[in-house]
Structure 1
Amino acid sequence: MSTPAPDAARRPTAVDRVADEYLDRQAALDPVYATFAGIAGHDHALPDLSPDGLAAVAELRRATLAALAATEAVDDTDRVTAAALRDLLETEDDLRAIRADSARLNNIDSPLQFVRDVFDLMPTATVDDWATIAARLAAVPDALGGYVASLRDAAVAGTVPPVRQVRIGVEQCADNVGDDGFFVSLAAQATDADVPDSVRGDLDRAARQAGEAYERLAAFLRDELLPAAPERDPVGRERYAVHSRAFLGTRLDLAETYEWGQAEVARIEAEMAATAERIVPGGSVADAIAHLDASPAHRLAGTEELQRWMQRTSDEAVAALADVHFDIPEPIRRIECLIAPTQQGGIYYTGPSEDLTTRPGRMWWSVPKGVDDFGTWRERTTVYHEGVPGHHLQVAQTVYRAALLNRWRRLGSWVSGHGEGWALYAERLMADLGFLDDPADHLGMLDGQSLRAARVVLDIGIHCELPAPAEVGGGAWDYDKAWRFLTAHANTAEGFRRFELDRYLGWPGQAPSYKIGERFWLQLRDDARAAAGDAFDVKAFHRGALDVGSVGLDVLRAAVLGTL
């Protein structure tokens, strides 16, 4: 598919200009966001994470809401943009009202991680690239100093992250400190003879200062924040509802969703048992997993072999699906599969640069320390989740749709329930299309589904303080019950499960967005089929729904069904 001719492109409107101005000002205030979104021009800087910096972001939201209120939508595209942007800005203001912006600390998605993680996306091919890295490294002390000020400000106001998350933060800081820490190791990679001594000196000096900044952050967390931190993990139903809406773009019936999550766990467990019978007749799910883990046909040795398998599997999916089951524009048929420099565990996706050439969409595997043996039966479905038809198709084709969508819709709008829900829905699609017909691969898909369903139960149950399931004794949730429930429904290594449970406890509302989002996508497809009758075409449904971009689930439903 070629790029649409200029005369086929939609003419920008006043609403487009409001949204795109917000994007540009947001990128300037948050250079980390800009790098992750692929927006050029900000890679040398880091955000102001101080109370003043967070106040500037809040003022931008207020100004944008006022501009939207004064601007008239001229077509359906404008109406979607205005509804999606308004929903995002109002939700972020709600989060600020409960100090979720200034007290942000957990084991996976907080300034502690993203100030470091952003360097993974920075190119290192030229002298200018290394000079840009040196400039950003030099900004780390001020960024973390501002972060400390915001955490302290929130603590004075009575909002402190739980003890569990503060202790994890101290541990994670250690990975960035000293001669063997991330920053010094990064600077040491500038070995090309063309890199002048002046740039090497800047890199070495800034890298050491960045490591020292993380050392100071660890001391603050340990010596000042930890003594004030509460032991209690649940945030309570009222605060949880705010977090949940932010990740979904809709308001849940939390009690109904909690019951549905438990029913999903039971349904998936029964399907896993039936699939295990196909692998080891008469055996249990545990027997089937042990059989597959011992099978050379389903194993990979070392990260190099893992990377090659990821790339091959992803490339084969693109070739098989393009022009047959999905519209995949030619410029996004490339996805790069990489082993991440971090060692925290998990697989994730980062989108392409805005121009679709500077940086491709990438699938990253963060391999934990000491792990060098991998089972393809577990992970084939994950490659589809992160690649095609999952996140890469969803994100990169949205970046590509410049003729249809403004820059904010293409680069700045991301709602977890939409994005993660689509990726989980994509896994199920691949099973429906026959790509997971091997019982081993099908069991792997179900195993992942089991974890995602268990997340719904754990996250909502713990934070909203609902009664625990009978299988763990009922009554009030505690860490032991949560651990036993997760262990019963997640067939992964203990270290991964510990990380996952800590994630749910410290990042309320995000983990359920996968399964809840998948539920939404399935219902939306059913509703679209019912509305279209015999004229329904699933390929056209996918194209049309994805062309909306990543918006809140309420906005997506209204856009697809024409009820906005």
Structure 2
Amino acid sequence: MTDASSLAEDYLRLHAQFRPVDATFMGLPGHDHQLPPAGPDSVDAELDALRALRARVETAPEPTSSGTRLDARLLNAQLALGEAELQRAPRLHNPAWATGEAAFSVISLLLPGAPGNPTERGDALRVRLEALPGFLGQARAHLQGRAAPQDWTERGRREACAAATLLEDGLPRHPLWHTDLQAPAFRAARALRAHADELAELAPVDDVACGEAHLDFLMRVGHGLSFGPREALEQATLAFERLTQELEHDAARLDPSRSWQEQLAALEHDTAEEGGVLDTYRVWHERALEAASGLVTPERTYTLDYRTTPDWAVGTADLYFLFYRSPAPRRPGSGSVYWVFPPGEDMGAYLRAHNTSAIKLIHAVHHGSIGHHTHNARAREAASVLARVAGTDCASGIAMLGAGTSVEGWACYAEDLLLEAEGFYTPAEALLLKSYERRNAASCMADIKLHLGEWSLEEMRVFYRDRANFAPARIWSETTRNSMFPATRLMYWLGTEAIKNLRTELNLPARVFHDALLAHGHAPMSWIAEEMRHTRAQETV
């Protein structure tokens, strides 16, 4: 019989067959020239493949190691989630699905560290470009006669136009550009613009809620939680109110004449010189690595290179174009790149957005140094096959939902962890950290209320604007994405809380605890906690 880790490899082959753009981001070979199947029978074909694999999983032997146990659980979750989503609301019925896949089928081959040599990538890019008009036509056929939430349609239209601009203006500036790409790029761009016009004709529908039953399913099966949305909502609501009071108290202690919002706004004026923004990123990344060395083993061998976003990446503001994207776990190379967007016309606004505190907390710690950068490196060495790849950033989000509580939970937790490194943060930055925690609790509340049907999208946006302290420019894209992907915003706060609770429970030395946690890779924190408790119990026998 085949064990769970071998079946996990079979699942990855199935995943790559139906999600080849994901496969490029994961570094799974053999799919870089392909687009997702979108023919009339593609949903049924995927369902059949998932069910066939599930039948094999049911006869697999009981896993006996940490790696195979995590593989078995992740595999069962992925099969259950995949089947449920295809039956409830196939991704092909979302007008923003095809546009995201189209855009990132190209971008995935343009990024530094993309798989293959330049000739191979150029050939794969040409094949994908040639296939894009047909792919978009097939995708539209799945939308015929369907209504869709207006914001999902608008996201699809924006993505289609942004992808067309990328092909028209950006691709010719890329080192992979060759005259052989000119004609297919032109045809693909024209097809994308026509696709955007076609999407505008879709009938709108107001309801975006997935419903309590499905949200509960995503939380218990996908995230491995022992509780559902009602309990999580109660926890997050209490935390939001508590953190609001703590912010007010802490701010009054620092400066009684200014509210916490005013004190945080003042941090925007501590900025680098115009030419020193990149250096500020690099300096704080290194300082964070050094400050954390007694708390966790930071990743130093695999490099992180901060660079200015290149000219070819034009028109990407409406795409899921991340400044830090997890390296392909199966083909990571020796380092990855962290993009720093160049200034626009308003230099003052640019410098305020890249203030020192934001660079430290968001870029140097959450994404760089001991945050995603170190976690991704450790995940590539995990015993579980699926936990090595589950947190891969793909066209619209991470590859596997269940990875979220550890991927985002750790990165948010890492920000707070450096409060234990004396002198790393200023008192005002400690206040900023608390506001981030409050915002994550707010996002957990909003995710649940939206998908329980208690809030509309507009009510969610009002909450983000008036109470949750979200940057106004982020609110539309953040809430639209959350409406498309339920149970993806709750994982930040719930994941962070799970790590805090586990650390208190196990009471291990800081570095021992954190290194052991990261060694399990990208899996639900609930299951990682069970594995760590199991190890702890064996050590104390």
Q: TM-score category by the smaller chain?
A: 0.7 to 0.9
Deviation at 1:339, TM superposition (A): 5.0
Pick from 285, 307, 325 the counterpart of residue 314 of structure 1. 285
In the TM superposition, 1:125-140 aligns within 5 A as 126-140=118-132
Q: Does 1:461 pair with 2:449?
A: yes
CA separation in 2, counterparts of 1:130 and 1:121?
12
What CA RMSD, in Å, does the superposition of the two structures yield over aligned residues? 3.3
Contact 2:167 2:189 in 1 (8 A): yes
Q: Does 1:257 pair with 2:232?
A: yes
Pick from 98, 103, 107 the counterpart of residue 88 of structure 2. 98
CA separation in 2, counterparts of 1:40 and 1:306?
37
2:394 maps to which residue? none
Secondary structure in 2 matching 1:400? coil
Contact 2:92 2:98 in 1 (8 A): no
Deviation at 1:172, TM superposition (A): 3.0
1:204 maps to which residue? 182
Q: Does 1:331 pair with 2:308?
A: no
CA separation in 2, counterparts of 1:428 and 1:485?
25
Deviation at 1:481, TM superposition (A): 3.8
Deviation at 1:202, TM superposition (A): 2.0
Contact 2:292 2:418 in 1 (8 A): no
CA separation in 2, counterparts of 1:461 and 1:338?
39
Deviation at 1:130, TM superposition (A): 3.2
Pick from 74, 82, 90 the counterpart of residue 72 of structure 2. 82
Contact 1:184 1:211 in 2 (8 A): yes
1:343 maps to which residue? 317
Structure 1 pair 286–29 and aligned structure 2 pair: CA distance change class (3 A): closer
Letter in structure 2 aligned against 1:270: Q
Pick from 60, 79, 83 the counterpart of residue 71 of structure 1. 60
Structure 1 pair 131–84 and aligned structure 2 pair: CA distance change class (3 A): closer
Pick from 154, 167, 172 the counterpart of residue 188 of structure 1. 172
Contact 1:104 1:111 in 2 (8 A): no
In the TM superposition, 1:398-413 aligns within 5 A as 398-401=379-382, 404-406=383-385, 408-412=386-390
State the Cα deviation string for residues 293-343 of structure 1 (Å, max 9, x = none): 2x3xx21465x6433322332233224434x322346533x1233455322
Letter in structure 2 aligned against 1:19: A
Pick from 151, 162, 165 the counterpart of residue 175 of structure 1. 162
Letter in structure 1 aligned against 2:88: I
2:50 maps to which residue? 61
Structure 1 pair 398–115 and aligned structure 2 pair: CA distance change class (3 A): same
Moved more, 337-346 or 163-172: 337-346
Letter in structure 1 aligned against 2:94: R
Contact 1:339 1:364 in 2 (8 A): yes
2:514 maps to which residue? 542
Moved more, 205-214 or 251-260: 251-260
CA separation in 2, counterparts of 1:13 and 1:327?
35
Secondary structure in 1 matching 2:130? helix
Contact 2:3 2:61 in 1 (8 A): yes
Secondary structure in 2 matching 1:20? helix
Deviation at 1:394, TM superposition (A): 1.4
In the TM superposition, 1:234-245 aligns within 5 A as 234-245=209-220
Letter in structure 1 aligned against 2:36: P
Structure 1 pair 126–119 and aligned structure 2 pair: CA distance change class (3 A): closer
Pick from 384, 391, 397 the counterpart of residue 372 of structure 2. 391
Deviation at 1:55, TM superposition (A): 3.5
Work out the number of aligned pairs and report it. Answer: 511
Q: Report the TM-score, using the length of structure 1 for normalisation.
A: 0.80
CA separation in 2, counterparts of 1:443 and 1:379?
15
CA separation in 2, counterparts of 1:190 and 1:234?
41
Letter in structure 2 aligned against 1:47: P
CA separation in 1, counterparts of 2:192 and 2:124?
20
Secondary structure in 2 matching 1:299? coil
Pick from 263, 277, 284 the counterpart of residue 259 of structure 2. 284
1:352 maps to which residue? 327
Contact 1:104 1:110 in 2 (8 A): no
CA separation in 2, counterparts of 1:248 and 1:301?
43
Q: Report the TM-score, using the length of structure 2 for normalisation.
A: 0.83
2:23 maps to which residue? 34
Deviation at 1:447, TM superposition (A): 2.7
CA separation in 1, counterparts of 2:524 and 2:76?
11
Contact 1:338 1:365 in 2 (8 A): yes
Secondary structure in 2 matching 1:350? coil
1:474 maps to which residue? none
Letter in structure 1 aligned against 2:136: L
Secondary structure in 2 matching 1:335? strand
2:432 maps to which residue? 444
Letter in structure 2 aligned against 1:352: P
Contact 1:162 1:232 in 2 (8 A): yes
**Quick one: percent identity of the two aligned structures?**
21
Deviation at 1:258, TM superposition (A): 1.4
Deviation at 1:126, TM superposition (A): 3.8
Deviation at 1:230, TM superposition (A): 0.7
Q: Where in structure 2 are there 5+ consecutive unaligned residues?
A: 392-399
Structure 1 pair 16–503 and aligned structure 2 pair: CA distance change class (3 A): closer
Structure 1 pair 173–368 and aligned structure 2 pair: CA distance change class (3 A): farther
Deviation at 1:369, TM superposition (A): 6.8
Moved more, 46-55 or 518-527: 46-55
2:396 maps to which residue? none
Q: After the TM superposition, which parts of structure 1 deviate over 6 Å for at least 4 consecutive aligned residues? A: 366-369
State the Cα deviation string for residues 255-310 of structure 1 (Å, max 9, x = none): 222122222222222333344346544211232134322x3xx21465x6433322
CA separation in 2, counterparts of 1:109 and 1:395?
27
1:533 maps to which residue? none
Secondary structure in 2 matching 1:562? helix
Contact 1:347 1:365 in 2 (8 A): no
CA separation in 1, counterparts of 2:426 and 2:2?
50
